[in-house]
Every structure is written in structure tokens, then in C-alpha cells.
Amino acid sequence: MALRLVADFDLQKDVLPGLLAQRAVLAVAGARGGGVGILENYDSLRVQNIERNGNIIYTYKDDKGNVFFGLYDRQTRQNEHLYTFETDFQVVSCSVNSERTLLAVSLVQATKEGRRNEHQPESKCLTLLVEIHPINNVKVLKAVDSCIWAQFLYPHVESHPLSENRLLLISEEKYIEQFHIQVTQEDGDKVVIKNSGHLPRDRVAEDFVWAQWDMLEQRLYYIDLKNSRTILKCIQFNADENFTLMFEASLDISLKDSGFKLVNFGCDYLQDQEKFSKHLSLCVFTNKTGSLCVCYSPKFDSGKQITYSVFYFHKGHSKTFTAALGSADSHVTKGITFLNLDCYVAVYLPGHFFHLLNIQHPDLICHSLFLTGKNEMIDMLPHSPLQSLSGSMVLDWNSGKLYRALLNQSYLLQLLWNTPLDCERMAVLHCVLSCGRDSRFLEAQIIQWISENISACHSFDLIQEFIIASSYWSICPETSNVDKLLPYSSVITWNTEIPGITLVTEEIALPLMKVHSFKGYWEKLNYNLEYVKYAKPHLHYNNSVIRKEWNNLISEEKTGKRRSTAYVRNILDNAMKVIFNLEARSLEPRLTPLFQEEDNHQRLLVGLMVSELKDHLLRHLQGVEKKKIEQMVLDYISKLLDLICCILEASWRKHNLHPWVLHFDRRGSAAEFAVFHLMTRILEATNSLFLPLPPGFHTLHMVLGVHCLPLHNLLHYIDNGVLLLTETAVTRLVKDLDNTERNEKLKFSIIARLPPLIGQKISRLWDHPMSSNIISRNHVKQLLQNYKKQPRDSMTDKSSFSVEFLPLNYFIDILTDIESSNQALYAFEGHDNVDAKFVGEAALKHTTMLLGL
């Protein structure tokens, strides 16, 4: 399954063996005339609550109906007995303070069936506060006809004793109170309640219909119905004994007939499970990035589809999904379940569908993974109701198992290989990269898949999406708010339908923050809300902004004119820092012959990207040190280049290529053609995003092109900009190839396409009439570019060159005249030892060669 549940606690394994051992001891003692409290009914063993520090409270009954309270410490893996009620009660709720000195319990009288009789008003609920260190007094906090839920606050993680404990009591009468309990030590370590006669209390909330407790963050979410509007509110409990109303948010849902419901206030085994499965589902999820999501599914009525909504308050919109349930005989026996997985929310209906919703980037549906009931792996999840807790923890109340919910990397990778749908490939790619565990291994697996499926996707470019997404995830977890400044995906729009699901997106009103000083999560949430209000259009970096400047620098290089050398040197220094950073992070020597030449064009592009991206982050990333931003930029661009290298290296290794591929005096193989094709796809992907390539990429691409392509195809690739002629590649071509007829034609065709300055330099390395011809052409072009014909009185032989070919003589005379009149016109770089005589001799040699004389 895409979701993996790793058991962190199992009531049957972590608690029951100890109780059975205790039973054996007590049985022996009973045979000797004593012993009580023997566990007889294993079904009575239940998890009741999980506290902020991870400790788990459980209860069980012995053969006499006595109720035992125990605690499992997840840190020490030890069990501890807390208290025993020698009366047959049904536990509604319980909680223990962080020092394990006070136990709050809500109990109702048990019926013969072991359940509260809701139709008997005399069945009172007792809420008791018990001193348990040592066992001492019991104080009655409430004795009412309605149910009460109890929950101690844990304002501090530290273990030092607190002078005051705070206890929340949540009443079925729709109010919440906070009790202040002063404790003191007597007789050494005896802890007693100091103000047991009168416990001060605060009214926290009232007239609410739904409430959810976030134990880890100590937050209370509740909904009240105000003027026929559904208003979600949040109260933050602080360490300074205060509580603060943080925000109000309007929800476009109706809860008038939904009844009273609590989420995460322990387990209420008094609920009718069948009724619970048909009840509406509503929960609030947050994560460390400052997201705020409300997941909602109305009461389910039998039909062929089910609807659920997610309110992305941190994005300013909601999405309502309608999922088909399959065939007409589909039967829904359980309710829909929402699970918090940090960057994702899992929505599933056992046997029907499983939906992983991307919380950080919910705009495009293709970034969320939807699997239908046809997928056999869906049934691997428990069919019993699961409760999502903080920190990606999930509790199965029925079995008493606590799970840590994780994305299943191995299954997702398998799905990546097997699914035929582009939407699922896109979603799985991002799910895998967001896992964040063993990123090198995951990237290697994805690269292997890309190399085998390079042309499989029609809706997006695989290489582009992998490079952009993986570079993003390598930086995003380190600094908050970077997700708004760096591109997450190469896909801007998605119009293809997702089979089995439809979607409606609507704008929603942003939460109204009730405070003005923010820290931690609240600061990030407020930043997200401010971004939604004012940051339009989006601030994602786009590398195309440097296209014009890069083109200008290349043009200046071709013409031999350059602006300030300090400016260019700074750009090249930026590129050098990236390359040093990249090489320092490389774990193994590279197989491919990259980074072995200067390749100033790519270095200029890398350096410009460093400069532009750094300025972009400095403008919009407030409160982050400049040095940290500079390092972030180096890491991001280094990662981008490294991913390109890794894709190429994987193909190089797969086809078992060797460094001698760089020599031209050999024919191309099928393996080389495969690598050449991959490099062409990489070039296509990076060109459209205007991303830099590793220095040496174009040289290697050109060499493989010469090996694998017929001459006319090769020249077509060159003329259309697919293959770029680098000085290193052409120099090696001239030196490696002999002067056979085929090679002469190849050399001439290549050199003729070089920029003038580089062409003159390369031509001088080739001792051949073709080379002389090229040099001559360039020389003549330079001389005649500003030539104006002057009237002549007579033809005079101004040169020592004379043949019986009057047009050539006339042309040489013109060149000689220009040379003698202005030496500066031909005294440019690469033209030493070139004059009119050289041009005439080269022309004759070339003519005789063409005529075969």
C-alpha cells in the first residue's frame, strides 16, 4: 500500500504479557489463601488515552469487576499500575498529569451489557480527581447526568514538578472548563492537592457542537454556530497558565443536525460504532510549514459516490472531491477516514479508494495520488476506525495498536514502474521525493525508471519534473518559506481528468487572526496568510530572466568585445564556487568525462543563475542571514547540475561505456546511440527551462553525435542548435581524424560552421587545402566587409602572383591594394602569414582539387 503503518505500540504485546505474568503470581498467592485482581476477561483491556509525552493509559477489569488503570511508558517500555476502582464502572475518559501524581477519571455506572444506558437520566457521570502518589484522596469534580471528558494540560516538556496542574473538563452540555489545581509535597515525596476545597476554574468555550484536541501542540479547535454560520475557532494553551483565542475561520458547511462530537479526547467506547461510521467526519490538520487544513465529509447515504472537502486555509481555497464507489453492488460498511501525514493528508474508504492529498502544493490535482478500489493494496489498511494523532501517529482503538504512518517508498517505486497513467506517475514522483529518507537511493531508483521510460509520459517532461522537484526537496526542508520562492514543478497547468474522481475548487475567506504577536507555527501560518493576500502573481524563481543577459555575453564573445572584465570575472567566480561545491559533495569519481574543460558558455550561465537566484532570495526571504542564502543558492544549483550528471552516469554505467568514447577515430555503437539520445532529451529539457548544463556536456554530446549520425543528419542537428560546436570537440576532431575523403568533408563542414574567431584558430591546426580555403575565406571576408570600389586608370601588377586566369588576377590585385593602403584592416588575430598571395594560392589549390587535376 502507498501508506505503511509501523506498529509503535501494541496492547496485546506490550501490556498483556505482563498482566498474564501478574495473573500467574496472583493465582499462586490465591492458592495460599490470598490474591485478588486476576485478569480474566482479555476483552476488557483497552487503551483509554495517549498523553503528550507519549505515555499510554489503559484499563482492564478483573474477575470481580474491579477497574484497573495502568500506564505504559513508551520511553522506558515499562508498565506502571496507577489506580484501582473496586466498583464496576464504565470508563468514559481519563488523563494523568505529567508527574503521574494526579489521575482524572470520568465514570458511569455499568449496565449488565457493559454499556451506559442513555435513556436512564439517573445514570450519573462521576468525574473524579485522584491523588495517586501515593494513593490518597479522591475528590469529586462533577456529578452530572451528561458525559464529561477529562484532559490534563502538558504546558512543559521538561520533567521538573509543576506547582500547578491544569485540567480541562469537556461537557456533553457543550461547555469546556479549565481547573487550576495547586499541589504540594508532604512527608517527603507525598503529593497532595493544596486547594482541594475550592479549585479555581475558567470557562474556556461554550455553545459548541464539535471540538478537537491537539495534544502535541496543546491546541483546542472547536466550532460554534453563530447566526446560522459555522465558525471554527482555535485556542492555544500556553506555558504561562494562559490561553489565547488565535483565530476564527468561517466554514461553508452545515452542522445543525450533526449532533455533538469530540475528536482526540481519548477513546469513547460508548459510541455506537455503526452510527459512528455513518456520522460526518471533520478534523483539523496542521504541520510545521504553517499549513491549516480542515477535512470534512458529510453524513454518508448509500449511493454510487462519496463527497469530501478540504479547506486549505493557508492557500485561500477549498477543494471538493467526488469519488466514484465503483459498481452498483459496492457496499460501504465503514466511514471515510482522514490521516495527517505531515506534507500529505491521506483520505481513504476501505475497499474503495485511497487519496494522498498534497498539502504544501494542492493547486494541481496531478500532485496528489488517487488510487481506486481496483488496486488490491488498498485492503491492506485496517478496516476498523483509525484516529489520526499528532506527529503522523495513528491509533486503532479496537485493536489497541498505535502506528507511525509513513509513505511506503517500496510500493510507490513499484507503482512508478507499473502505472500507465501520467497523473499517477507525476503524483508518485513527488510522493517519493518528499519522503526525505535515503534521498540518494530514491533518486537512483527514479533515474533508472526515467532511463527506461524516457518517452512514456505525454503530459509532462520526465527529466524536467525530476530535476525541478528533486532540487526543490533538497533545499525546501532547510528553510521555511522557500517553497514560495523556488519552483516545485515544471508543470503549470493540468487539464487531464483523473479517472474515478472529480474536483471543484473555490476561493474561501482567510482566517481572522485574533493576536498580533506570533511565534513558531503561528508565525508561519500568518506568513502564509499574508502571502495569499498580497503575493500575486507567485514569486517562484524563473531562470529565463537571465536569458537576455546570457545571450548578450555570448554575442560579445563572438565579436571579440567584452564589457568590464571585473563583471565577467565575478560571474565566472560564481560558477567556480558551484563547481567546487559540487565536487566536494561527490561521493565517488565520475565515470563520464565532464568538468574536464572550461566551457565558458555554461560557466557564464551557471554564474548568472547564482547571481540572479541569490538576489531573488535576498529580496523575498526576510530574516535569513546572507551567508546562509548564498550557501543555499550554491547547494541548489549544485544539486541541479549533479542530477543531470547522475542521469547521464546511470546511462553510461548501464551501457558500459568507457572514456575512449571521446576519440573520433571509431564508429558509434548501439550503446553510444542510446546515451546520445538521452543527452539530446536532457538538452531539450534544460533548454526549455533555460537551465545550465555541466561543463563538458556539449563536447561529449558532439562527439557521440559524430559517432552515431550520418553527415547530413549531423549537420542538420548542428544547424538547428541541437549540437553545439565547442572548441574542445572540434580541436579533437581535427587532430584525431585523418584526411580521408569522408573525414575531409566532415572537417570542412564542421569548421565552416564555426564562429570566425574560433574557426580561424581551428583551421590553423589542420594542414590541408581545405583549411587554407577556410582561412582565405575568412581573410577575404574581413578585408571586404568595408570595401568601397574605387575607379582605376589601368591594371597594374601589384602582386608577384600571376597566372593565366584574369578574374583571379583582378581579385588578387584588389586585395593587394587594400592590404598596401591600410595594414590595420588585416592585422587581426589569427591572420598572421595570411595575405593576398596566400589567398590566391589557396584558391588555385582548392580549384584543382575540385576539378581532380
Asked if residue 170 and residue 230 are part of one domain, the reply reads yes
What type of residue sits at position 598? E
Does residue 471 carry a pLDDT above 70? yes
What type of residue sits at position 800? S
What type of residue sits at position 92? V
Does residue 836 carry a pLDDT above 90? no
At which residue does the C-alpha cell 565566472 appear? 572
* Strand partners for 108: 90, 125
Question: Which residue among 212, 244, 270 closes a domain?
Answer: 270
Question: Which residue among 34, 60, 87 closes a domain?
Answer: 87
- Residue 592: phi and psi, rounded to 5, are -80, 145
Range of the domain at 175: 90-270
| Residue 337, C-alpha cell as written in the block | 477516514
In angstroms, the CA 645 to CA 583 distance is 11
Question: Which residue among 69, 87, 105 closes a domain?
Answer: 87
Domain count, the chain: 2
User: Does some domain include residue 384?
Assistant: no
pLDDT in tens, 229-257: 899 999 999 887 789 999 999 999 988 77
Average pLDDT value over all residues in the chain = 83
pTM reported for the whole predicted model? 0.85
Give the residue among 703, 686, 704 at the shortest CA–CA distance from 694: 686
- Rg of the Cα atoms in the chain: 38
User: What is the CB-side half-sphere exposure of residue 252 using CA atoms within 13 A?
Assistant: 15
Does residue 188 carry a pLDDT above 90? no
For 139, the enclosing helix (H) or strand (E) is: strand 135-144
The one-character DSSP state at 233 is E
User: Does some domain include residue 56?
Assistant: yes
In angstroms, the CA 443 to CA 34 distance is 65
In angstroms, the CA 749 to CA 734 distance is 12
* Strand partners for 388: 394
pLDDT band at 121, cuts 50/70/90? very low
Does residue 271 carry a pLDDT above 70? no
User: Does some domain include residue 223?
Assistant: yes
Asked if residue 206 and residue 96 are part of one domain, the reply reads yes
Residue 563 or 87, more confident: 87
User: Does some domain include residue 816?
Assistant: no
Asked if residue 155 and residue 74 are part of one domain, the reply reads no
Does residue 653 carry a pLDDT above 50? yes
In angstroms, the CA 533 to CA 530 distance is 5
Task: List helix spans (H) across 493-541.
Answer: 521-534
Task: State the average pLDDT over residues 383-390.
Answer: 81
Asked if residue 241 and residue 163 are part of one domain, the reply reads yes
Say how many residues make up the chain.
853
Asked if residue 234 and residue 121 are part of one domain, the reply reads yes
Cβ proximity of 822 and 788 under 8 Å: no
Which stretches does DSSP call E strand in 537-668?
A: none
Give the residue among 345, 257, 350 at the shortest CA–CA distance from 309: 345
Which three-class secondary structure string do you get for 395-425? EECCCCEEEEEEECHHHHHHHHHHCCCHHHH
pLDDT band at 668, cuts 50/70/90? confident
Asked if residue 119 and residue 194 are part of one domain, the reply reads yes
In angstroms, the CA 402 to CA 265 distance is 16
Task: List helix spans (H) across 211-320.
Answer: 273-278
What pLDDT score was predicted for residue 278?
57
User: Does some domain include residue 49?
Assistant: yes
Give the residue among 107, 65, 106, 101 at the shortest CA–CA distance from 80: 101
What pLDDT score was predicted for residue 333?
56
The DSSP code sequence of 467-496 is HHHHHHHHHGGGSTTGGGTS---S-----S
Candidate ranges 214-223, 261-270, 795-804; pick with highest mean pLDDT: 214-223
pLDDT in tens, 422-457: 999 999 999 999 887 778 899 999 999 999 998 888
- Strand, coil or helix: what is 546? helix
For 707, the enclosing helix (H) or strand (E) is: helix 697-708
pLDDT band at 815, cuts 50/70/90? low
pLDDT in tens, 134-164: 888 899 999 999 999 999 999 865 555 567 8
Asked if residue 98 and residue 240 are part of one domain, the reply reads yes
Give the residue among 686, 685, 690, 542 at the shortest CA–CA distance from 613: 542
In angstroms, the CA 832 to CA 829 distance is 7
User: Does some domain include residue 491?
Assistant: no
What pLDDT score was predicted for residue 587?
74
Give the residue among 386, 402, 391 at the shortest CA–CA distance from 15: 402
Does residue 33 carry a pLDDT above 50? no
Asked if residue 71 and residue 148 are part of one domain, the reply reads no
What pLDDT score was predicted for residue 35?
43
Task: List helix spans (H) across 87-218.
Answer: none
Asked if residue 167 and residue 18 are part of one domain, the reply reads no
Does residue 819 carry a pLDDT above 70? no
What pLDDT score was predicted for residue 435?
80
Does residue 311 carry a pLDDT above 70? yes
pLDDT in tens, 345-378: 999 887 788 999 999 999 999 999 999 876 555 5
Asked if residue 264 and residue 168 are part of one domain, the reply reads yes
Q: What b/e string do you get for 413-444 counting C-beta neighbours within 10 Å, with b at 16 or more?
A: bebbeebebbbbbbbbbbbbbbbeeeeeebbe
User: Does some domain include residue 259?
Assistant: yes
Does residue 644 carry a pLDDT above 60? yes
Asked if residue 68 and residue 128 are part of one domain, the reply reads no
Cβ proximity of 641 and 606 under 8 Å: yes
Asked if residue 106 and residue 251 are part of one domain, the reply reads yes
Candidate ranges 82-91, 449-458, 569-578; pick with highest mean pLDDT: 569-578
pLDDT in tens, 582-601: 988 877 788 888 888 888 89
User: Does some domain include residue 725?
Assistant: no
Rounded to 10 degrees, the C-alpha dihedral 558/559/561/562 comes to -20
Q: Look at the alpha carbons of 264, 267, 268, 272 in this order and tell me if their dihedral is positive or negative.
A: positive
